[in-house]
Amino acid sequence: MFEVVLDALETTGDPQYATMFDNLYQNFCKRNGTDWSGNEYNDDIAWMCIACIRAYLLTGKVEYRTRAKSNFDKMYARANAYGDGTLVWKQGNTGTNSCINGPAAVCACYLGIALNQKSYYDKAIYIYSGHRSKLFNINSSGVFNGHVYDSYSTDENKVSNTWASTYNQGTSLGAAVMLYNYTGNVQYKNDADAIMSWTAANHANSYGIVKVCQTVTGDLTGFKGILMRYVRRYAADLGHPEYYDWLAKNAYHAWNNRNSKGISMSAWLHKTTEDFNYSDGG
């Protein structure tokens, strides 16, 4: 949700969104403190670090950069437990998940940009490589079909959940694009193309409208937005204007399913009910 505000700031340049972000950030820190290592979910920390480092890049406010670096470094130090680039999703649990590897790689790229430090790009490359080896659907000929699996069991040494979510596809897409921009290595470009093609073919209906995560409760309500953020980056950075049309079609569909109060719920395929009321977790 923090990044939605940053998207608005980035695309419009309107300073009201910088103010809105800072209000949200101050509220978050008042409730959660400025050291987030007490949270056992490493992906939670990675998501907030992405928001902060993006906010720094868009506003120049050094506090955001300081907070992102400090918390990312603490998270990475404890999550990098396997020696193969993959990260622990939740402290005390074994195995690795796309929901930590994808955003951690993205965040490391942003930190590399913001701090002009190669070491963070090295971390991003390391995380991506481990993630790719464990959770990308690669056939015996070495061809990746674009399907990013959810989780891997280190105890059983195998993929434990083949589910592909919009947010895991999205952050893997974003990491591939950012690492291609940095390295020029065509593998990252090919991976990005495969992820985008698989996602468009499997997560959208015959009209090209995203059909998954059709819910108004729980974490799934925010996942589609994460995908869309990185589809935009893919379209812009790798020169695929056809996906601007794809994004616009989805946005128009969601908008047209608003109710008379102008509210569009997260289940895009359905008309928003007139009595729709958002509450935390419900």
- Does residue 280 have a pLDDT over 80? no
In the chain, % of residues over pLDDT 90: 93
Q: What is the 3-state secondary structure (H, E, C) of 141-186?
A: CCCEEEEECCEEECCCCEEEECCCCHHHHHHHHHHHHHHHHHHCCH
pTM attached to this predicted model: 0.97
What residue type is 20 in one-letter code? M
- Does residue 140 have a pLDDT over 90? yes
Query: What are the tens digits of pLDDT across the range 184-215?
Result: 999 999 999 999 999 999 999 999 999 999 99
Neighbours of 110 (CB within 10 A): 23
DSSP notation for 94-115 = -SEEHHHHHHHHHHHHHHHHHH
As a whole number, mean pLDDT of residues 26-50 equals 98
- Does residue 148 have a pLDDT over 70? yes
What residue type is 69 in one-letter code? K
Predicted pLDDT at 218:
86
Angle at 177 between CA 18 and CA 41, to 5 degrees: 65
Neighbours of 245 (CB within 10 A): 11
- Does residue 217 have a pLDDT over 90? no
Per-residue DSSP letter, 221 = G
C-alpha distance from residue 210 to each of 157, 165, 206, 250 (Å): 32, 11, 10, 7
Predicted pLDDT at 276:
87
Give the list of residues 6+ apart from residue 261 with CB closer than 8 angstroms, or none: 274
C-alpha distance from residue 75 to each of 88, 105, 253 (Å): 10, 13, 38
Query: What are the tens digits of pLDDT across the range 230-266?
Result: 999 999 999 999 999 999 999 999 999 999 999 999 9
